[in-house]
Amino acid sequence: MPYRVTFVCTGNICRSPMAESVLRHHVENEGLDVEVDSSGTDGWHAGDEADDRTIAALRRAGYRSAHSARRFEASWFDRYDLIIALDEGHLRALRAMAPDEEARGRIRLLREFDPEAGADLDVPDPYYGGRADFDLVLELVEAAMPGLLEEIRAGLKAA
């Protein structure tokens, strides 16, 4: 059975699809049995592709993007081994939705996996910004990948 990871941001068009694409790239390159997807705490953009600026940032860095936005559903908690929030607001929303303590224990912040992150664990929302804001989000996502991959490998061994 594959290890399942999902990323959650607000509208599922900027941060979480970016993290999804980056992690998918890494697990495919390593041949890890991991399913990766993403969603949002809100459904405003359900059915939309990732933001054009997200897609552009990913392409500049050599990543692919194939995405359709959706809203995270409370019934999905049993589906995932790891649910990764992109900021504290998403973390709070997911914890409030979680059916029990076990589900809440699977929710983490992405930047927890970056040892250089410091005290600010939020990935800022680039939606109202420009290219530099999207590039910064990609940089923060990439910085968390080694630690996240280590967590995933440990989860695969424990399964």
Q: CATH code at 140?
A: 3.40.50.2300
Total domains in the chain come to: 1
> Domain range holding 67?
3-158
Angle of CA points 156, 150, 141, to nearest 5°? 120
Taking the C-alpha atoms of residue 110 and residue 139, their distance in angstroms, rounded to an integer, is: 12
CA dihedral 96, 82, 76, 48 (to 10 degrees): 100
pTM higher than 0.75 for the full model? yes
Instruction: List, for residues 37-89, the tens digit of each pLDDT value.
Output: 999 999 888 889 999 999 999 999 999 988 899 999 999 999 999 999 999 99
Catalytic residue chosen out of the listed positions 42, 70, 108, 125: 125
Residue in 15, 24, 53, 111 annotated catalytic: 15
Predicted local confidence at residue 159, as pLDDT? 81
Q: How many Cα atoms sit within 13 Å of 24 on the Cβ side?
A: 19
- Read off the pLDDT of residues 106-137 as tens digits, 9 standing for 90 and up: 999 999 999 999 999 999 999 999 999 999 99
Q: Which of 9, 37, 51, 106 is catalytic?
A: 9
- Whether residue 9 lies in the annotated active site: yes
